[in-house]
């Protein structure tokens, strides 16, 4: 039995230009990867490449050509596959995770069970998902907050000189729990200077306040802050976690950073061993990629899986986050189908 790999590049469009501290766009390209076994059973996965981590749809396509010869002879050899794929494309995490997700999808389909069940998880334990509001003028941010009415927790992108005006505008129109994500957009002194405002606005979590390489700075903000600090850009794989312990309160796992579902599980274990809270986030991606990440959520404290909810058109149906509640599919494998 040999697996054959094929893929399509999908153009996605967000409803609003999605702006964070390092840029803005409405057009995203993701890669839908299919692994077909010799008897026709298919596993699917999605690569949601990020330029920030050195990937684009084109680098994913090139990486998939290097990864295809590294596919396991036995599709159920998930551990062996992980090691071989990492060797074949060490810097192409989103390309690798698409294959990892497809192998897990295939394994679940063979066994007739959803991935959460193979992992022994209770889907009712998933935390609520937040919904993200990108950077914008205070007026437009208020309009987006109103549009996000069904979602019980909001994540507000910050990291500009307008942070105070934006957060005050948000608080004028909602009492919901607020989290902020600076995407490394503050200096340490800017982060420290904003803490009183963030407390006044009853922000419950601060994501990646300062540059990912600045562990000292992250630790300084953590020491000064009564609000928990979560590392996102500073935490790509489990190997990053020991040095973050003591410098943050939690980590944000993203499949496009960590490169495999098994690595994501290792990150959960490593974070727990270091008494860190664990969040799962996403890129702008379809419900295929979101669903792969959503299967982890019963293990986690926090979730931000709104990537597909921000799209004009989502080509897949899988896990949903309606009203913030993460509902995992009951179908085998990832449980994703085409819309």
Q: Using CB under 5 A, list all residues that contact Mg ion.
A: 181, 207, 232
Residue 84 CB, nearest approach to Mg ion (Å): 30
* Beta-sheet pairing, 178-181 with 203-207: parallel
Q: Which is nearer to Mg ion, 181 or 249 (CB)?
A: 181
Residue 313 to residue 224: CA distance in whole angstroms = 42
Q: Which is nearer to Mg ion, 82 or 233 (CB)?
A: 233
Residue 69, Cβ density class (10 Å: 0-12 exposed, 13-18 middle, ≥19 buried): exposed
Residue 192 CB, nearest approach to Mg ion (Å): 20
Residue 206 to residue 5: CA distance in whole angstroms = 40
Residue 155 CB, nearest approach to Mg ion (Å): 8
Q: Which is nearer to Mg ion, 107 or 268 (CB)?
A: 268
Residue 305 to residue 293: CA distance in whole angstroms = 8
Which residue from 41, 289, 135, 106 is spatially nearest to 280, judged by alpha carbons?
289
Q: Please identify the residue of the shown chain whose CB is closest to the bound Mg ion.
A: 232
Which residue from 312, 298, 318, 207 is spatially nearest to 252, judged by alpha carbons?
207
How is residue 225 annotated by DSSP?
-
Residue 208 CB, nearest approach to Mg ion (Å): 5
CB 105 within 8 A of CB 95: no
Residue 207 CB, nearest approach to Mg ion (Å): 5
Residue 318, Cβ density class (10 Å: 0-12 exposed, 13-18 middle, ≥19 buried): buried
Residue 251 CB, nearest approach to Mg ion (Å): 11
Residue 67 CB, nearest approach to Mg ion (Å): 27
Q: Encoding tokens for residue 244?
A: 């973050």
Q: Which is nearer to Mg ion, 26 or 50 (CB)?
A: 50
Q: Cα 231 vs. chain centroid, distance in angstroms?
A: 13
Q: Which is nearer to Mg ion, 102 or 267 (CB)?
A: 267
Q: Which is nearer to Mg ion, 46 or 181 (CB)?
A: 181
Q: Which is nearer to Mg ion, 92 or 232 (CB)?
A: 232
């Amino acid at each position: 039995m040999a697996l054959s790999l094929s893929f399509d590049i999908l153009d996605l469009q967000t409803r609003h230009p999605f702006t964070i501290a390092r840029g803005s766009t409405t057009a995203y390209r993701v890669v839908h990867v299919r692994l077909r076994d010799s008897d026709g059973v298919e596993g699917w996965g999605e690569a949601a490449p990020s330029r920030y981590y050195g990937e684009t749809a084109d680098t994913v396509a090139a990486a998939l050509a290097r990864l295809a010869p590294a596919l396991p002879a036995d599709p159920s050899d998930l551990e062996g596959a992980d090691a071989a794929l990492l060797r074949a494309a060490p810097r192409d995490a989103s390309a690798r995770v698409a294959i990892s997700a497809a192998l897990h999808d295939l394994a679940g389909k063979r066994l007739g069970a959803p991935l959460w069940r193979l992992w022994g998880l209770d889907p009712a334990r998933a935390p609520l998902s937040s919904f993200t509001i990108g950077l914008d003028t205070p007026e437009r941010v208020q309009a987006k907050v109103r549009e996000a009415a069904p979602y019980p927790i909001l994540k507000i992108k910050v990291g500009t000189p307008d942070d105070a005006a934006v957060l005050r505008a948000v608080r004028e129109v909602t009492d919901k729990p607020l989290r902020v994500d600076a995407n490394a957009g503050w200096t340490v002194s800017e982060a420290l200077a904003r803490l009183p405002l963030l407390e006044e606005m009853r922000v419950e979590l601060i994501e990646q306040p300062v540059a990912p390489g600045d562990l000292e700075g992250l630790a300084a903000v953590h020491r000064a802050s009564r609000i928990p600090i979560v590392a996102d850009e500073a935490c790509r794989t489990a190997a990053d976690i020991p040095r973050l312990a003591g410098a943050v309160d939690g980590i944000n796992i993203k499949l496009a950073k960590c490169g495999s579902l098994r690595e994501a599980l290792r990150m959960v274990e490593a974070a727990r061993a270091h008494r860190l809270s664990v969040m799962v986030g996403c890129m702008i991606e379809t419900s295929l990629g979101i669903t792969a990440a959503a299967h982890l959520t019963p293990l986690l404290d926090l979730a931000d899986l709104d990537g597909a909810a921000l799209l004009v058109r989502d080509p897949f149906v899988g896990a949903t986050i309606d009203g913030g509640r993460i509902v995992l599919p009951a179908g085998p494998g990832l449980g994703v189908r085409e819309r």
